[in-house]
Structure 1
Amino acid sequence: MSIGNSPEDDRPSDDLHATPPPAVEQAPTPADDRPSIGRVLRQGRVDAGMTVDEVSTSTRVRVPIVHAIEEDDFSRCGGDVYARGHIRTIARAVGVDPEPLLAQFADEHGGRPAPTPAAPLFEAERIRSDPRRPNWTAAMVAAIVAVIGFVGFTAFGGSDDGGAKQQAAEGATPATGKPKPTQTPKPTKPTDPKPDPTDSAIAAAPRDKVTVKINAADGRSWISAKDHNGRIMFDGLLEQGESKTFQDNQKVDLVLGDAGAIQLYVNGKQVDNEFEPGQVERLTYTKGDPEVG
Protein backbone atom coordinates (compact mmCIF):
# COMPACT_ATOMS: atom_id res chain seq x y z
CA MET A 1 0.00 0.00 0.00
CA SER A 2 1.47 3.28 -1.02
CA ILE A 3 1.03 6.52 0.79
CA GLY A 4 -0.33 9.32 -1.37
CA ASN A 5 1.46 12.64 -1.77
CA SER A 6 0.37 15.72 0.23
CA PRO A 7 -0.96 18.74 -1.61
CA GLU A 8 2.30 20.54 -0.97
CA ASP A 9 4.10 17.75 -2.86
CA ASP A 10 1.87 18.37 -5.87
CA ARG A 11 3.30 21.89 -6.38
CA PRO A 12 5.97 22.14 -9.01
CA SER A 13 9.49 22.17 -7.70
CA ASP A 14 10.15 25.46 -9.43
CA ASP A 15 7.51 27.13 -7.24
CA LEU A 16 9.33 26.14 -4.09
CA HIS A 17 12.41 28.08 -5.18
CA ALA A 18 10.64 31.05 -6.81
CA THR A 19 11.81 34.56 -5.69
CA PRO A 20 9.27 37.10 -4.34
CA PRO A 21 8.24 39.94 -6.63
CA PRO A 22 10.39 43.01 -6.32
CA ALA A 23 9.07 45.88 -4.13
CA VAL A 24 7.88 49.00 -5.83
CA GLU A 25 10.48 51.69 -5.42
CA GLN A 26 9.20 55.15 -4.44
CA ALA A 27 10.48 58.16 -6.29
CA PRO A 28 12.90 60.21 -4.14
CA THR A 29 11.42 63.37 -2.67
CA PRO A 30 13.14 66.42 -4.10
CA ALA A 31 15.03 68.37 -1.45
CA ASP A 32 13.45 71.63 -0.21
CA ASP A 33 15.43 74.24 -2.09
CA ARG A 34 13.58 77.20 -0.52
CA PRO A 35 15.79 79.71 1.35
CA SER A 36 15.38 79.68 5.12
CA ILE A 37 12.97 82.05 6.86
CA GLY A 38 15.78 83.94 8.60
CA ARG A 39 17.66 84.37 5.34
CA VAL A 40 14.56 85.77 3.59
CA LEU A 41 13.93 88.23 6.43
CA ARG A 42 17.57 89.31 6.56
CA GLN A 43 17.68 89.81 2.80
CA GLY A 44 14.43 91.79 2.95
CA ARG A 45 15.87 94.02 5.66
CA VAL A 46 19.01 94.64 3.62
CA ASP A 47 16.96 95.41 0.52
CA ALA A 48 14.85 97.85 2.55
CA GLY A 49 18.01 99.59 3.76
CA MET A 50 17.17 99.05 7.44
CA THR A 51 19.35 98.14 10.38
CA VAL A 52 18.46 95.64 13.10
CA ASP A 53 17.91 98.52 15.54
CA GLU A 54 15.48 100.18 13.12
CA VAL A 55 13.57 96.93 12.67
CA SER A 56 13.43 96.52 16.46
CA THR A 57 12.15 100.07 16.93
CA SER A 58 9.54 99.63 14.21
CA THR A 59 8.26 96.23 15.37
CA ARG A 60 8.84 96.49 19.14
CA VAL A 61 10.71 93.16 18.92
CA ARG A 62 13.92 93.17 20.91
CA VAL A 63 17.23 93.32 19.07
CA PRO A 64 18.49 89.89 20.32
CA ILE A 65 15.29 88.20 19.10
CA VAL A 66 15.59 89.85 15.66
CA HIS A 67 19.17 88.59 15.39
CA ALA A 68 18.10 85.08 16.48
CA ILE A 69 15.25 84.92 13.94
CA GLU A 70 17.60 85.99 11.14
CA GLU A 71 19.82 83.05 12.20
CA ASP A 72 16.74 80.73 12.11
CA ASP A 73 16.83 80.38 15.89
CA PHE A 74 13.24 80.61 17.11
CA SER A 75 13.91 79.34 20.64
CA ARG A 76 14.09 82.86 22.04
CA CYS A 77 10.60 83.75 20.79
CA GLY A 78 8.90 81.97 23.68
CA GLY A 79 6.98 79.47 21.58
CA ASP A 80 5.68 78.83 18.07
CA VAL A 81 2.70 81.18 18.52
CA TYR A 82 4.95 84.12 19.23
CA ALA A 83 7.48 83.05 16.64
CA ARG A 84 4.68 83.25 14.03
CA GLY A 85 3.78 86.73 15.31
CA HIS A 86 7.40 87.91 15.13
CA ILE A 87 7.82 86.50 11.62
CA ARG A 88 4.65 88.26 10.44
CA THR A 89 5.61 91.59 12.10
CA ILE A 90 9.19 91.63 10.84
CA ALA A 91 8.19 90.55 7.32
CA ARG A 92 5.72 93.41 7.04
CA ALA A 93 8.31 95.88 8.40
CA VAL A 94 10.90 94.95 5.75
CA GLY A 95 8.37 94.64 2.90
CA VAL A 96 8.21 90.83 2.56
CA ASP A 97 5.02 88.79 2.15
CA PRO A 98 4.63 86.94 5.48
CA GLU A 99 2.24 84.19 4.29
CA PRO A 100 4.81 81.99 2.45
CA LEU A 101 7.13 82.28 5.42
CA LEU A 102 4.38 81.27 7.84
CA ALA A 103 3.53 78.25 5.67
CA GLN A 104 7.20 77.28 5.55
CA PHE A 105 7.43 77.64 9.35
CA ALA A 106 4.40 75.36 9.74
CA ASP A 107 6.00 72.73 7.48
CA GLU A 108 9.28 72.83 9.35
CA HIS A 109 7.82 72.91 12.88
CA GLY A 110 4.90 70.51 12.66
CA GLY A 111 1.93 72.69 11.78
CA ARG A 112 -0.12 74.45 14.39
CA PRO A 113 2.01 75.10 17.47
CA ALA A 114 1.00 74.15 20.99
CA PRO A 115 -0.06 76.86 23.45
CA THR A 116 2.77 78.55 25.27
CA PRO A 117 2.74 79.55 28.96
CA ALA A 118 2.30 83.19 29.80
CA ALA A 119 5.76 83.73 31.33
CA PRO A 120 7.72 83.36 28.06
CA LEU A 121 5.13 85.56 26.34
CA PHE A 122 5.79 88.35 28.74
CA GLU A 123 9.53 87.90 28.34
CA ALA A 124 9.34 87.73 24.55
CA GLU A 125 6.93 90.60 24.00
CA ARG A 126 8.47 92.99 26.50
CA ILE A 127 8.91 96.37 24.87
CA ARG A 128 12.37 97.79 24.97
CA SER A 129 12.80 100.71 27.31
CA ASP A 130 13.73 103.94 25.63
CA PRO A 131 16.75 105.43 27.44
CA ARG A 132 15.80 108.92 26.32
CA ARG A 133 12.36 108.75 27.94
CA PRO A 134 12.35 110.70 31.27
CA ASN A 135 11.64 108.71 34.41
CA TRP A 136 8.54 110.55 35.59
CA THR A 137 7.92 108.08 38.42
CA ALA A 138 11.29 108.76 40.01
CA ALA A 139 10.82 112.51 39.57
CA MET A 140 7.38 112.36 41.20
CA VAL A 141 8.70 110.33 44.14
CA ALA A 142 11.56 112.81 44.63
CA ALA A 143 9.12 115.73 44.55
CA ILE A 144 6.84 114.07 47.13
CA VAL A 145 9.81 113.39 49.42
CA ALA A 146 10.94 117.01 49.10
CA VAL A 147 7.44 118.32 49.92
CA ILE A 148 7.15 116.02 52.95
CA GLY A 149 10.57 117.12 54.20
CA PHE A 150 9.69 120.79 53.74
CA VAL A 151 6.36 120.39 55.56
CA GLY A 152 8.04 118.55 58.42
CA PHE A 153 10.76 121.18 58.72
CA THR A 154 8.18 123.97 58.65
CA ALA A 155 6.06 122.23 61.28
CA PHE A 156 8.95 121.73 63.70
CA GLY A 157 10.44 125.15 62.99
CA GLY A 158 7.02 126.81 63.25
CA SER A 159 6.34 125.15 66.61
CA ASP A 160 9.65 126.44 67.97
CA ASP A 161 9.01 129.94 66.65
CA GLY A 162 5.48 129.83 68.04
CA GLY A 163 6.78 128.88 71.49
CA ALA A 164 9.34 131.66 71.38
CA LYS A 165 6.71 134.19 70.30
CA GLN A 166 4.29 132.99 72.98
CA GLN A 167 6.98 133.28 75.64
CA ALA A 168 7.88 136.75 74.43
CA ALA A 169 4.21 137.78 74.49
CA GLU A 170 3.53 136.36 77.94
CA GLY A 171 6.78 137.64 79.36
CA ALA A 172 9.67 135.81 80.90
CA THR A 173 8.94 133.45 83.77
CA PRO A 174 9.99 135.09 87.05
CA ALA A 175 13.07 133.52 88.56
CA THR A 176 12.66 131.74 91.90
CA GLY A 177 16.04 132.88 93.21
CA LYS A 178 17.28 136.33 94.00
CA PRO A 179 16.97 138.75 91.13
CA LYS A 180 20.20 139.81 89.58
CA PRO A 181 20.96 143.50 89.91
CA THR A 182 20.41 145.32 86.70
CA GLN A 183 23.43 146.98 85.26
CA THR A 184 23.02 150.56 84.28
CA PRO A 185 24.36 150.97 80.75
CA LYS A 186 27.30 153.25 80.54
CA PRO A 187 26.71 156.30 78.40
CA THR A 188 28.43 156.01 75.09
CA LYS A 189 30.57 158.79 73.86
CA PRO A 190 29.09 160.67 70.92
CA THR A 191 30.88 160.27 67.66
CA ASP A 192 30.74 164.00 67.13
CA PRO A 193 33.33 165.73 69.33
CA LYS A 194 30.89 168.59 69.67
CA PRO A 195 27.98 167.49 71.91
CA ASP A 196 24.47 168.48 70.88
CA PRO A 197 23.17 171.16 73.26
CA THR A 198 19.85 170.60 75.01
CA ASP A 199 16.83 172.84 74.77
CA SER A 200 17.98 174.77 77.82
CA ALA A 201 21.35 175.26 76.18
CA ILE A 202 19.61 176.57 73.08
CA ALA A 203 17.69 178.98 75.22
CA ALA A 204 21.01 180.28 76.53
CA ALA A 205 22.99 179.79 73.32
CA PRO A 206 26.47 181.29 73.47
CA ARG A 207 26.87 184.42 71.43
CA ASP A 208 30.29 183.48 70.16
CA LYS A 209 28.95 180.38 68.34
CA VAL A 210 26.13 179.54 65.95
CA THR A 211 23.66 176.91 67.22
CA VAL A 212 21.04 175.35 64.93
CA LYS A 213 18.35 172.89 66.02
CA ILE A 214 16.29 171.02 63.40
CA ASN A 215 13.00 169.39 64.45
CA ALA A 216 11.06 167.13 62.02
CA ALA A 217 7.70 168.13 63.48
CA ASP A 218 5.41 167.59 60.48
CA GLY A 219 7.10 164.63 58.74
CA ARG A 220 10.40 163.06 57.94
CA SER A 221 12.99 164.80 55.82
CA TRP A 222 16.46 164.23 54.51
CA ILE A 223 18.93 166.82 55.88
CA SER A 224 22.61 167.63 55.49
CA ALA A 225 24.64 169.89 57.83
CA LYS A 226 28.23 171.17 57.36
CA ASP A 227 30.50 173.38 59.48
CA HIS A 228 32.41 176.44 58.23
CA ASN A 229 35.23 174.18 56.96
CA GLY A 230 32.82 172.12 54.82
CA ARG A 231 33.05 169.04 57.03
CA ILE A 232 29.83 167.04 57.17
CA MET A 233 28.22 167.13 60.61
CA PHE A 234 25.20 165.03 59.58
CA ASP A 235 23.88 163.57 56.34
CA GLY A 236 20.84 161.33 56.55
CA LEU A 237 17.11 160.94 57.14
CA LEU A 238 15.39 162.58 60.07
CA GLU A 239 12.20 160.72 61.01
CA GLN A 240 9.07 162.55 62.15
CA GLY A 241 9.39 163.67 65.80
CA GLU A 242 13.20 163.45 65.78
CA SER A 243 15.51 166.44 66.16
CA LYS A 244 19.17 167.28 65.64
CA THR A 245 21.30 170.15 66.98
CA PHE A 246 24.47 171.47 65.34
CA GLN A 247 27.01 174.05 66.60
CA ASP A 248 29.98 175.78 65.02
CA ASN A 249 32.24 178.75 65.74
CA GLN A 250 31.31 180.61 62.55
CA LYS A 251 28.46 179.17 60.47
CA VAL A 252 26.30 176.10 59.72
CA ASP A 253 25.28 175.24 56.15
CA LEU A 254 22.02 173.27 55.80
CA VAL A 255 20.26 171.39 53.00
CA LEU A 256 16.63 170.42 53.76
CA GLY A 257 15.02 167.81 51.53
CA ASP A 258 11.47 168.61 52.73
CA ALA A 259 11.65 172.09 54.24
CA GLY A 260 7.90 172.22 54.85
CA ALA A 261 8.19 169.45 57.49
CA ILE A 262 10.99 171.17 59.47
CA GLN A 263 11.00 173.58 62.41
CA LEU A 264 14.23 175.59 62.82
CA TYR A 265 15.70 177.08 66.00
CA VAL A 266 18.78 179.27 65.41
CA ASN A 267 20.77 180.70 68.33
CA GLY A 268 17.89 180.03 70.73
CA LYS A 269 15.15 181.57 68.58
CA GLN A 270 12.59 179.88 66.33
CA VAL A 271 12.85 180.85 62.70
CA ASP A 272 9.53 181.62 61.03
CA ASN A 273 9.43 180.27 57.52
CA GLU A 274 6.90 179.68 54.80
CA PHE A 275 8.47 176.62 53.24
CA GLU A 276 6.14 174.41 51.18
CA PRO A 277 5.93 170.62 51.69
CA GLY A 278 8.46 168.87 49.48
CA GLN A 279 10.45 172.07 48.93
CA VAL A 280 14.26 171.72 48.95
CA GLU A 281 16.07 174.58 50.74
CA ARG A 282 19.75 175.46 51.13
CA LEU A 283 20.33 177.65 54.19
CA THR A 284 23.31 179.20 56.00
CA TYR A 285 23.22 180.51 59.59
CA THR A 286 25.88 182.53 61.46
CA LYS A 287 26.39 183.86 64.99
CA GLY A 288 24.06 186.42 66.58
CA ASP A 289 20.46 186.78 65.53
CA PRO A 290 19.07 184.26 63.04
CA GLU A 291 20.36 185.33 59.66
CA VAL A 292 19.89 183.50 56.43
CA GLY A 293 22.96 183.72 54.22
Structure 2
Amino acid sequence: MSEGTDRSFEEIFFPAADGLSLYARDYRALSGDSAQKAPVVCLAGLSRNSRDFHQFAIALRERTGKRVVALDYRGRGRSARDDNKANYNIAAEYGDVLSALSSLRIDRAVFVGTSRGGLILHILASSRPDVVVGAVLNDIGPVIEPAGLLEIATYLNRGERPRDWAQATAFLRATHGASFPVLSDEDWRDMAEAIYVEKDGGIHPDFDPAIAQQLLTLDFESPLPDLWAQFKAFENMPLMAIRGEHSKLLSAQTLAEMSGRQPGMRQYLSIGQGHAPLLHRRDVFSAVAGFIDSI
Protein backbone atom coordinates (compact mmCIF):
# COMPACT_ATOMS: atom_id res chain seq x y z
CA MET A 1 0.00 0.00 0.00
CA SER A 2 1.45 3.37 -0.94
CA GLU A 3 1.98 6.10 1.61
CA GLY A 4 -0.76 8.14 -0.01
CA THR A 5 -3.40 5.42 0.47
CA ASP A 6 -2.27 3.95 3.80
CA ARG A 7 -5.01 4.64 6.34
CA SER A 8 -3.29 3.07 9.35
CA PHE A 9 -2.01 6.48 10.42
CA GLU A 10 -2.92 10.15 10.17
CA GLU A 11 -0.42 12.54 8.61
CA ILE A 12 0.17 15.63 10.73
CA PHE A 13 2.01 18.78 9.66
CA PHE A 14 2.83 21.33 12.34
CA PRO A 15 5.24 24.25 12.87
CA ALA A 16 8.53 24.13 14.72
CA ALA A 17 9.31 26.94 17.16
CA ASP A 18 11.04 28.81 14.33
CA GLY A 19 8.14 28.25 11.93
CA LEU A 20 9.67 25.42 9.86
CA SER A 21 7.10 22.85 8.73
CA LEU A 22 7.46 19.50 10.49
CA TYR A 23 5.74 16.14 9.97
CA ALA A 24 4.54 13.26 12.13
CA ARG A 25 2.64 10.02 11.68
CA ASP A 26 -0.11 9.51 14.25
CA TYR A 27 -1.27 5.91 14.73
CA ARG A 28 -4.38 6.60 16.78
CA ALA A 29 -5.40 4.51 19.79
CA LEU A 30 -7.78 1.67 19.01
CA SER A 31 -10.34 2.54 21.68
CA GLY A 32 -11.37 5.22 24.10
CA ASP A 33 -9.86 3.30 27.00
CA SER A 34 -6.55 2.97 25.16
CA ALA A 35 -6.59 6.67 24.40
CA GLN A 36 -6.34 7.33 28.14
CA LYS A 37 -2.99 5.51 28.32
CA ALA A 38 0.30 7.29 27.77
CA PRO A 39 1.10 7.17 24.04
CA VAL A 40 4.37 5.93 22.59
CA VAL A 41 6.53 8.49 20.75
CA CYS A 42 9.20 7.16 18.39
CA LEU A 43 12.35 9.18 17.66
CA ALA A 44 14.39 8.15 14.61
CA GLY A 45 18.12 8.09 13.93
CA LEU A 46 20.40 10.71 12.41
CA SER A 47 19.31 10.55 8.77
CA ARG A 48 16.17 8.48 9.26
CA ASN A 49 12.48 9.28 9.51
CA SER A 50 9.09 8.13 10.74
CA ARG A 51 8.86 5.34 8.15
CA ASP A 52 11.43 3.37 10.17
CA PHE A 53 8.74 2.72 12.77
CA HIS A 54 5.78 1.88 10.52
CA GLN A 55 5.62 -1.87 11.12
CA PHE A 56 6.60 -1.48 14.77
CA ALA A 57 3.85 1.12 15.32
CA ILE A 58 1.14 -1.01 13.75
CA ALA A 59 2.16 -4.12 15.73
CA LEU A 60 2.48 -2.20 19.01
CA ARG A 61 -0.91 -0.55 18.60
CA GLU A 62 -2.47 -3.92 17.80
CA ARG A 63 -0.97 -5.47 20.93
CA THR A 64 -1.47 -2.62 23.39
CA GLY A 65 -4.19 -0.52 21.79
CA LYS A 66 -2.03 2.54 22.49
CA ARG A 67 -1.54 5.58 20.32
CA VAL A 68 1.87 5.58 18.61
CA VAL A 69 3.47 8.67 17.09
CA ALA A 70 6.59 8.79 14.90
CA LEU A 71 8.36 12.03 13.99
CA ASP A 72 10.41 13.47 11.16
CA TYR A 73 12.88 16.03 12.53
CA ARG A 74 13.77 19.00 10.34
CA GLY A 75 15.51 18.00 7.12
CA ARG A 76 14.22 14.43 7.15
CA GLY A 77 11.33 12.72 5.44
CA ARG A 78 8.37 15.01 4.89
CA SER A 79 9.57 17.77 7.22
CA ALA A 80 10.97 20.85 5.50
CA ARG A 81 14.69 21.28 4.83
CA ASP A 82 16.28 24.03 6.91
CA ASP A 83 18.04 26.82 5.02
CA ASN A 84 20.26 27.31 8.06
CA LYS A 85 22.21 24.06 8.02
CA ALA A 86 23.68 24.84 11.45
CA ASN A 87 20.24 23.97 12.85
CA TYR A 88 20.85 20.29 12.17
CA ASN A 89 21.89 19.65 15.74
CA ILE A 90 20.52 17.83 18.77
CA ALA A 91 19.36 21.03 20.49
CA ALA A 92 17.22 22.10 17.52
CA GLU A 93 15.88 18.58 17.06
CA TYR A 94 15.03 18.43 20.77
CA GLY A 95 13.04 21.61 20.13
CA ASP A 96 11.29 19.86 17.23
CA VAL A 97 10.23 17.09 19.62
CA LEU A 98 8.82 19.64 22.08
CA SER A 99 6.92 21.30 19.23
CA ALA A 100 5.48 17.94 18.25
CA LEU A 101 4.35 17.17 21.79
CA SER A 102 2.64 20.55 22.03
CA SER A 103 0.96 20.33 18.62
CA LEU A 104 -0.20 16.74 19.19
CA ARG A 105 -1.36 17.51 22.74
CA ILE A 106 0.87 14.91 24.36
CA ASP A 107 1.61 15.73 28.00
CA ARG A 108 3.40 12.48 28.90
CA ALA A 109 4.60 9.54 26.84
CA VAL A 110 6.77 6.47 26.62
CA PHE A 111 9.64 7.31 24.27
CA VAL A 112 11.52 4.98 21.94
CA GLY A 113 14.76 6.55 20.73
CA THR A 114 16.87 4.91 18.03
CA SER A 115 20.46 6.16 17.71
CA ARG A 116 20.23 10.00 17.35
CA GLY A 117 16.70 9.74 18.73
CA GLY A 118 18.14 8.19 21.88
CA LEU A 119 20.56 11.08 22.28
CA ILE A 120 17.65 13.50 22.03
CA LEU A 121 15.85 11.35 24.60
CA HIS A 122 18.77 11.82 27.01
CA ILE A 123 18.25 15.59 26.76
CA LEU A 124 14.48 15.28 27.12
CA ALA A 125 14.72 13.05 30.22
CA SER A 126 17.17 15.40 31.93
CA SER A 127 15.41 18.67 31.06
CA ARG A 128 11.73 17.59 31.01
CA PRO A 129 11.47 14.44 33.15
CA ASP A 130 7.80 15.20 33.75
CA VAL A 131 7.11 14.29 30.12
CA VAL A 132 8.85 10.90 30.10
CA VAL A 133 6.84 7.98 31.48
CA GLY A 134 9.42 5.45 30.33
CA ALA A 135 12.25 5.18 27.83
CA VAL A 136 13.65 2.68 25.33
CA LEU A 137 17.18 3.36 24.03
CA ASN A 138 17.71 1.46 20.79
CA ASP A 139 21.43 0.85 20.26
CA ILE A 140 22.51 4.09 21.84
CA GLY A 141 23.86 5.21 25.18
CA PRO A 142 25.82 8.02 26.82
CA VAL A 143 29.03 7.04 25.00
CA ILE A 144 29.32 6.86 21.21
CA GLU A 145 32.18 4.84 19.75
CA PRO A 146 34.09 7.05 17.27
CA ALA A 147 34.80 4.11 14.95
CA GLY A 148 31.08 3.40 14.65
CA LEU A 149 30.26 7.03 13.94
CA LEU A 150 33.04 7.21 11.34
CA GLU A 151 31.50 4.23 9.56
CA ILE A 152 28.15 6.03 9.48
CA ALA A 153 29.77 9.23 8.21
CA THR A 154 31.50 7.29 5.44
CA TYR A 155 28.48 5.51 3.99
CA LEU A 156 26.11 8.46 4.35
CA ASN A 157 28.49 10.66 2.35
CA ARG A 158 29.11 8.25 -0.51
CA GLY A 159 26.43 9.98 -2.56
CA GLU A 160 24.98 6.80 -4.05
CA ARG A 161 21.98 7.29 -6.32
CA PRO A 162 20.33 3.95 -7.08
CA ARG A 163 18.53 3.74 -10.41
CA ASP A 164 15.63 1.65 -9.02
CA TRP A 165 14.37 -0.02 -5.86
CA ALA A 166 16.21 -3.26 -6.58
CA GLN A 167 19.51 -1.41 -6.69
CA ALA A 168 18.64 0.60 -3.57
CA THR A 169 18.04 -2.66 -1.72
CA ALA A 170 21.28 -4.11 -3.09
CA PHE A 171 23.23 -1.05 -1.91
CA LEU A 172 21.92 -1.47 1.62
CA ARG A 173 22.64 -5.19 1.73
CA ALA A 174 26.20 -4.64 0.42
CA THR A 175 26.83 -1.95 3.05
CA HIS A 176 25.17 -3.51 6.10
CA GLY A 177 24.76 -7.20 5.29
CA ALA A 178 27.65 -8.39 7.47
CA SER A 179 26.12 -6.68 10.51
CA PHE A 180 22.58 -7.92 9.84
CA PRO A 181 22.82 -11.59 8.82
CA VAL A 182 19.33 -12.37 10.12
CA LEU A 183 17.47 -9.98 7.81
CA SER A 184 15.26 -11.41 5.09
CA ASP A 185 14.82 -10.12 1.54
CA GLU A 186 11.61 -8.47 2.73
CA ASP A 187 13.45 -6.77 5.60
CA TRP A 188 16.02 -5.29 3.20
CA ARG A 189 13.30 -4.01 0.88
CA ASP A 190 11.43 -2.51 3.84
CA MET A 191 14.63 -0.78 4.95
CA ALA A 192 15.16 0.63 1.47
CA GLU A 193 11.64 2.04 1.39
CA ALA A 194 12.22 3.69 4.78
CA ILE A 195 15.55 5.24 3.82
CA TYR A 196 14.97 6.24 0.20
CA VAL A 197 12.23 8.16 -1.56
CA GLU A 198 11.18 8.18 -5.21
CA LYS A 199 11.13 11.71 -6.62
CA ASP A 200 12.32 13.72 -9.61
CA GLY A 201 12.54 10.56 -11.68
CA GLY A 202 14.97 8.78 -9.36
CA ILE A 203 15.58 7.14 -5.99
CA HIS A 204 17.13 9.46 -3.39
CA PRO A 205 18.07 9.27 0.31
CA ASP A 206 15.25 11.01 2.16
CA PHE A 207 17.24 13.60 4.10
CA ASP A 208 19.10 16.84 3.55
CA PRO A 209 22.69 15.94 2.51
CA ALA A 210 23.96 18.67 4.85
CA ILE A 211 23.08 16.40 7.80
CA ALA A 212 25.61 13.81 6.69
CA GLN A 213 28.19 16.38 5.64
CA GLN A 214 28.34 17.74 9.20
CA LEU A 215 29.81 14.44 10.38
CA LEU A 216 32.89 14.98 8.22
CA THR A 217 33.94 17.87 10.47
CA LEU A 218 34.32 15.63 13.55
CA ASP A 219 37.65 14.43 14.95
CA PHE A 220 37.23 10.66 15.02
CA GLU A 221 40.62 10.18 16.66
CA SER A 222 39.40 11.75 19.91
CA PRO A 223 36.71 10.60 22.34
CA LEU A 224 33.34 12.17 21.67
CA PRO A 225 31.54 14.13 24.44
CA ASP A 226 29.52 11.81 26.66
CA LEU A 227 26.06 12.14 28.18
CA TRP A 228 26.54 10.41 31.54
CA ALA A 229 25.22 13.47 33.38
CA GLN A 230 22.01 13.35 31.33
CA PHE A 231 21.79 9.54 31.63
CA LYS A 232 21.36 9.93 35.37
CA ALA A 233 17.84 11.29 34.75
CA PHE A 234 16.68 7.83 33.67
CA GLU A 235 17.05 6.52 37.23
CA ASN A 236 13.61 7.92 38.05
CA MET A 237 11.73 6.14 35.26
CA PRO A 238 11.44 2.68 33.65
CA LEU A 239 14.33 2.22 31.23
CA MET A 240 15.20 -0.37 28.60
CA ALA A 241 18.34 -0.54 26.48
CA ILE A 242 18.71 -2.60 23.31
CA ARG A 243 22.06 -3.40 21.72
CA GLY A 244 22.62 -4.98 18.33
CA GLU A 245 24.98 -7.94 18.57
CA HIS A 246 27.20 -6.46 15.86
CA SER A 247 26.82 -2.81 16.83
CA LYS A 248 29.89 -0.62 16.44
CA LEU A 249 28.23 2.45 17.95
CA LEU A 250 27.16 1.12 21.35
CA SER A 251 29.83 -1.06 22.93
CA ALA A 252 29.21 -3.95 25.31
CA GLN A 253 31.37 -2.08 27.84
CA THR A 254 29.16 1.01 27.70
CA LEU A 255 26.03 -1.12 28.06
CA ALA A 256 27.54 -2.79 31.12
CA GLU A 257 28.35 0.62 32.61
CA MET A 258 24.80 1.78 31.92
CA SER A 259 23.47 -1.26 33.77
CA GLY A 260 25.85 -0.65 36.65
CA ARG A 261 24.63 2.91 37.04
CA GLN A 262 20.97 1.98 36.55
CA PRO A 263 20.55 -1.50 38.10
CA GLY A 264 16.85 -1.54 37.25
CA MET A 265 17.46 -1.06 33.54
CA ARG A 266 16.09 -3.83 31.35
CA GLN A 267 18.49 -5.04 28.65
CA TYR A 268 18.05 -6.87 25.38
CA LEU A 269 20.74 -8.12 22.99
CA SER A 270 19.46 -8.40 19.42
CA ILE A 271 21.24 -11.40 17.93
CA GLY A 272 22.15 -11.09 14.27
CA GLN A 273 21.58 -7.35 14.04
CA GLY A 274 23.93 -4.37 14.08
CA HIS A 275 23.28 -0.64 14.33
CA ALA A 276 20.45 -0.15 14.78
CA PRO A 277 18.20 -3.19 15.33
CA LEU A 278 14.88 -3.30 13.49
CA LEU A 279 12.27 -3.10 16.23
CA HIS A 280 9.53 -4.92 14.36
CA ARG A 281 11.43 -8.21 14.08
CA ARG A 282 9.64 -10.74 16.25
CA ASP A 283 12.25 -11.24 18.98
CA VAL A 284 13.02 -7.54 19.50
CA PHE A 285 9.38 -6.54 19.25
CA SER A 286 8.35 -9.06 21.88
CA ALA A 287 10.94 -7.70 24.31
CA VAL A 288 10.11 -4.03 23.69
CA ALA A 289 6.34 -4.52 23.72
CA GLY A 290 6.62 -6.48 26.95
CA PHE A 291 8.56 -3.65 28.53
CA ILE A 292 6.05 -1.04 27.37
CA ASP A 293 3.19 -3.23 28.63
CA SER A 294 4.82 -3.30 32.07
CA ILE A 295 4.85 0.49 32.48
Q: TM-score, normalised by structure 2?
A: 0.18
Q: Greater CA radius of gyration, 1 or 2? A: 1
> Whose helix proportion is higher, 1 or 2?
2
The answer to which structure, 1 or 2, has the higher relative contact order (CA under 8 A, 6+ apart) is: 2
